Chain A
């Protein structure tokens, strides 16, 4: 193709129309902040951990009655088990996340680099899913314990007719559903915007393989 050959000739010229940066300018560039998606992804994952740890611990410090209830619930082996599980999972995810960040190398080929970034994003995603599942489990579970341990609540529920029970079920399901939906939308939005370009380019490379 003649046009491309013409371009190549121009390309090979030593002096292109760029303004050459001096040593001092390059020095100052080295110490500027990066705006790469890896860095943003890293901040998001830190925020993610901080958020879920806060959600899990803040009520304990803020409300005395919650603290009492929580202490009482530790007599229940199921709650103790769930708490241990959460801690184990946090440690596991920190380890996985550390590993996947370490595996990101800018000198890999483009496809591999994209894959390691997408893997990191998946680790964060699984952590979020884990937390949402925990919410999903803990809402009916805490209602059940409330029913068993709080006589006032027990009586009120026991005296309900089937219609009122249905309403209670519906409200519980609805609230849980809305919470999960909101989280899901937020994540779609954050990662959708952040990884738009990467996803598009990755798809383009994948398409070639078929």
Chain B
């Protein structure tokens, strides 16, 4: 039974692992940290899995657990070595030669997002995942009105970071 459960879990996670990677992409800025957070989210998903009833989509359930792990449960583990941070490389590019390609713009965007706080990142994540305000409010535990207000503020803040 347990083996069966494990098998079906791994199969589903393998298929949907991009969601977890995306959470890690926003909340970490180097490969080691990324993998470390991925590991922790996987453990939390696996623990919660026996209670997953299938009345919500597996992917919806996943991003809730993923976000909760990232903003609430996660503690950076000590085994991590600090490898070169993505952001620093991009900052250098910005200072030296800024060319307006899409690639460049994307890098700058990720750099800007990494400067947001955890809750703001969660809003960006849910926005990128095309969630409506009802779902955003349910995921974070705030009202729809507040979710809307906060989302506007986050967009404004991003704009300020990008065009100082």
B49–chain A nearest beta-carbon distance, Å: 10
Report how far A204 CA is from B119 CA in the complex, Å. Answer: 7
From B73, B146, B159, A36 is in contact (CB under 8 Å) with B73
User: In the bound complex, what is the Cα–Cα distance between A20 and B6 (angstroms)?
Assistant: 19
A-B contact pairs, 10 of them (CB 8 A): A1-B159, A3-B109, A6-B106, A8-B127, A30-B42, A34-B40, A36-B75, A38-B73, A107-B68, A209-B142
CA distance A208 to B72 in the complex (A): 17
Contact of A6 among B34, B67, B68, B109 (CB under 8 A): B109
Choose one: B9, B68, B122, B146; the contact of A209 (CB below 8 Å): B146
With A4-B127, A34-B43 in contact, do A110 and B73 touch (Cβ < 8 Å)? Answer: no
Q: List chain B residues, Cβ under 8 A from A27.
A: 6, 10
User: Which chain B residues in 11-63 approach chain A with CB under 8 Å?
Assistant: 11, 13-14, 17-18, 21-22, 25, 34, 38-40, 42-44, 46-48, 51, 61
B155: min CB distance to chain A, Å: 5
* Chain A 25-55: CB-based contact to B (< 8 A → 1; otherwise 0): 0110110101111101000000000000000
The answer to whether the Cβ of A21 comes within 8 Å of any Cβ in the partner chain is: yes
Question: Mostly helix, strand, loop or mixed at chain A's interface?
Answer: helix
Q: Does A61 touch B at the CB level, under 8 Å? A: no
Q: Smallest Cβ distance from A33 to chain B, in angstroms?
A: 8
A201 interface residue (CB < 8 Å to B) = yes
What residues of chain A have their CB less than 8 Å away from a CB belonging to chain B? 1, 3-4, 6-8, 10-11, 14, 16, 18, 20-23, 26-27, 29-30, 32, 34-38, 40, 105-114, 117, 194, 197-198, 200-201, 204-205, 208-209
B115 to chain A, nearest CB (A): 14
Q: Looking at the assembled complex, report how far the CB atom of A101 sits from the nearest CB atom of chain B, in whole angstroms.
A: 13
Report Cα–Cα, A112/B39, bound state, in Å.
24
In the complex, A8 Cα to B128 Cα: how many Å? 5
Residues of A within 8 A of B11 (CB): 23
- Interface pairs A-B: 3 shortest CB-CB: A111-B141, A109-B141, A36-B73
